[in-house]
Amino acid sequence: MNRRTYAAAGAAAIAGVLAAGGLAVGAAGDDPMDDRSAALVQQVDPKKPKNVILLVGDGMGDSEVSLARNYGVGAAGRLNMDALPFRGIVTHYVLSPGPGPTYKPNYVGDSAPTATAWSTGKKTIDGRLSQGPSSAAAVPGDNAAYETYMEIAEKSGKATGNVSTAEITDATPAAPSSHISQRGCQGPADAVASCASETKPNGGLGSIAEQQVDNGFDVVLGGGRARYEQPIPAGAPGAGGTVIDYAQSKGYTYVKNNSELGTVADLDGGKKVLGLFNAGNMTKEFAPLDVTLAGSGGENFRCAEGNRLASEPSLSVMTDKAIELLEDDPDGFTLQVEGASIDKQDHAGDVCGQIGETLEFDRAVGVALEFQKAHPDTLVIVTADHSHSSQMTYANQDPEGEYATLQGKDGSPLRVHYGTAAGEGQQHTHTGATVPVFAQGPQAANVVGTLDQTELFPILLGKNPSTLPRETQVQTTTVTTPGKTVTTPAPPAPAAKPGKPRVVLAALGSVRRADLRAGVEVALVTRDATKLSFTAKLGGKTVYSNRNARAASSEAFRIRVRNAKKGTIQVTAKVTGPAGTTTARKSIRVR
């Protein structure tokens, strides 16, 4: 296996299967009167995560999440982000300029200081990226104390990735990858015009684009081609060429569209990839429906989908590709993913644009959760940088200000009001309400209650592990199967009273298609079972079946597939005993 051993992957898979809680003794069932405490405890994992995926919905407050839920999956439906077991709320105030050393709060900030907060664990003023506050926007602050979580991850040997549907030099993706006093200094020409003292010829770190190249993150995907096409000034490294030229000289493979991205197979040999798929922000998913003072849309109005250009990869595709490229690093990886145009369409009062971006962001969350399911040593965090202006209101009342009406997934009318613009057709603004944060994986239990945005920083780095009470600790053992030694869980401790049979599966989280010819091994342990049925499907086709296997306390099966395609192998083990039947499932990603 590429840069992995089976034993290491099996051990990680086992830890996650038990931590997931679905097979835990005493886990809550479908009865609404069943207490969930035991199941939740089983999801508490104090270990430091190997991989970290942070997904940021820009401007995605609870109102935006609720609107996408009602439109996309219905009032009783659930989004992918709703599945994460740990949830909290985040305060996101920023600082006001001043003489220092203390600075008054600014209760409603922009994306630059809010992204700086989780990126560095410190607050700053509007427009500023991972740099300290000062007396005014035009007066640069201090960079020294503002090292970012992604810079720290890169220095520790982890693979790093930065993905956004905005210009990749925009505030949210720029915060973990640059240090500059004004967020508008995205390309070299921008920096010369607005941040002259911070350009490289003047002894500074350079524009955001130049700093992103210098930081050397392994995967950089988004819009912003025009910023990278700006020429580098005389006196700076790469002078005379563009930032794209500079990136290529630093070992980056440059891709411009969805097809070219698909040809990038790996990062072997220290390769890196820079994908810039639009001159500016990437195309949104849904065609626009702009709010008006008279009210746009109607009770039967549904948004027109399919607006994104075919040449541009979706956010979920970019997320999947980034994970595919980063996951082979033996030290793990850190990845930030931004759904940027939730915010941008809220500013524009484009209700369909905003909903489409939120739903596509949620699909990217689903990609991350699918990987986390197969790689339980991965921490997934979903949050927002700030709240925004859209509000659902009574469908039978015409509000003051601009609004639109849509048909929700359930067929009911959905009225959305925007009330922060100075006049019709003008930009709506951020708001100061707390934003949600969701988490799953190692140390996800830190994401509960009310947190300040700066408190996400140590969680992204991995906190010092705590020790769980003895009764919640997971024990594992090693069993030997023919030709292979695999770490598997010890059979669950005997229950005080006989219960249903139990089964736990363990396997690699992912496997290359070529390796499936030799086969991927799946280990399992059972208890109180007399009969075992084991099947595996790839793309809906059964690739392995043993419906009358012996129900030993430990067992192993090898799944071989010739000419396999990319997809997911769904493994199902069903055990039957005197007290009933239990089913366990495991996903193996084929890449």
Rounded Cα distance between 206 and 210, Å, is: 6
Residue 39's pLDDT is what?
Answer: 81
- Give residue 255's identity as a one-letter amino acid code: V
Catalytic residues: 111
Distant-in-sequence, close-in-space partners of 76: CB < 8 Å, separation ≥ 6: none
Rounded Cα distance between 24 and 533, Å, is: 20
Residue 19's pLDDT is what?
Answer: 36
- Give residue 135's identity as a one-letter amino acid code: S
Cα angle: 458, vertex 464, 468; to 5 degrees: 125
Q: How confident is the model at residue 557 (pLDDT cuts 50, 70, 90)?
A: confident
Which pLDDT tens digit goes with each residue over 77-132? 999 999 999 999 999 999 999 999 999 999 999 999 999 999 999 999 999 999 99
More confident position, 516 or 136? 136
3-class secondary-structure state, position 72: helix
Distant-in-sequence, close-in-space partners of 319: CB < 8 Å, separation ≥ 6: 55, 163, 335, 337, 364, 367, 368
Which DSSP string do the residues of 192-244 spell out, in sequence order?
A: HHH-GGGSGGGTS---HHHHHHHHT-SEEEEE-HHHHTSBPPTTSTTTTSBHH
Which pLDDT tens digit goes with each residue over 19-54? 333 333 233 445 788 888 888 888 899 999 999 999
Answer whether residue 9 shows pLDDT above 80.
Answer: no
The share of the chain scoring above pLDDT 70, in percent, equals: 88
3-class secondary-structure state, position 520: strand
On whether the 51-391+430-461 domain is CATH 3.40.720.10, my answer is yes
Please tell me the least confidently modeled range out of 22-36, 376-390, 451-465, 515-529. 22-36
Q: How confident is the model at residue 466 (pLDDT cuts 50, 70, 90)?
A: very high
Q: Is the dihedral of CA 94, 97, 101, 106 positive or negative?
A: negative
Residue 554's pLDDT is what?
Answer: 64
The share of the chain scoring above pLDDT 90, in percent, equals: 71
Q: How confident is the model at residue 503 (pLDDT cuts 50, 70, 90)?
A: confident
Q: How confident is the model at residue 283 (pLDDT cuts 50, 70, 90)?
A: very high
DSSP structural state of residue 401: S
Residue 26's pLDDT is what?
Answer: 30
Residue 530's pLDDT is what?
Answer: 81
Mean predicted confidence (pLDDT) in 504-508:
80
Rounded Cα distance between 90 and 131, Å, is: 21
Mean of the per-residue pLDDT values of the chain:
89
CB of 481 closer than 8 Å to CB of 519: no
Global pTM?
0.79
Answer whether residue 322 shows pLDDT above 70.
Answer: yes
Please tell me the least confidently modeled range out of 2-6, 522-526, 560-564, 571-575. 2-6
Answer whether residue 540 shows pLDDT above 60.
Answer: yes
Residue 418's pLDDT is what?
Answer: 95
Domain ranges for the chain? 51-391+430-461, 475-590
Q: Is the dihedral of CA 52, 114, 58, 64 positive or negative?
A: positive
Rounded Cα distance between 298 and 94, Å, is: 38
Phi and psi, residue 49, nearest 5°: -70, 145
Q: Is the dihedral of CA 343, 344, 348, 351 positive or negative?
A: negative
Q: Give which of 505, 500, 518 is closest to 562, Cα–Cα.
A: 518
Beta strands per DSSP E along 412-496:
413-418, 435-440, 449-452, 476-481, 484-489
Burial 170-204 (b: 16+ CB within 10 A, else e): bbbbbbbbbbbbbbbbbbbbbbbebbeebbbeeeb
CB of 113 closer than 8 Å to CB of 97: no
Which DSSP string do the residues of 98-157 spell out, in sequence order?
A: -SSSS--EESS--HHHHHHHHHHS---BTT-BSS---SSTTS----TT---HHHHHHHTT
Q: Which CATH number fits domain 475-590: 2.60.40.2470, 3.40.640.10, 3.90.78.10, 2.60.34.10?
A: 2.60.40.2470
CA distances from 269 to 157, 218, 254, 329 (A): 14, 12, 16, 11
Mean predicted confidence (pLDDT) in 4-20:
36
Which residue carries 């009783």 as its tokens?
76
Mean predicted confidence (pLDDT) in 483-491:
46
Residue 192's pLDDT is what?
Answer: 98
Rounded Cα distance between 273 and 267, Å, is: 8
Answer whether residue 410 shows pLDDT above 90.
Answer: yes
Residue 485's pLDDT is what?
Answer: 45
- Starting from the edge strand earliest in sequence, which strands make up the sheet with 296-297, in order? 296-297, 402-407, 413-418, 390-393
Mean predicted confidence (pLDDT) in 214-239:
98
Q: How confident is the model at residue 380 (pLDDT cuts 50, 70, 90)?
A: very high
Please tell me the least confidently modeled range out of 86-90, 371-375, 493-497, 502-506. 493-497
Answer whether residue 494 shows pLDDT above 60.
Answer: no
Rounded Cα distance between 443 and 460, Å, is: 9
More confident position, 309 or 26? 309
Q: Give which of 369, 366, 399 is closest to 293, Cα–Cα.
A: 399
Q: Are strands 554-559 and 520-527 parallel, antiparallel or unpaired?
A: antiparallel
Which pLDDT tens digit goes with each residue over 172-225? 999 999 999 999 999 999 999 999 999 999 999 999 999 999 999 999 999 999
C-alpha torsion 49→176→361→225, nearest 10: -140
Residue 435's pLDDT is what?
Answer: 98
Mean predicted confidence (pLDDT) in 535-563:
77
Residue 544's pLDDT is what?
Answer: 84
Residue 474's pLDDT is what?
Answer: 46
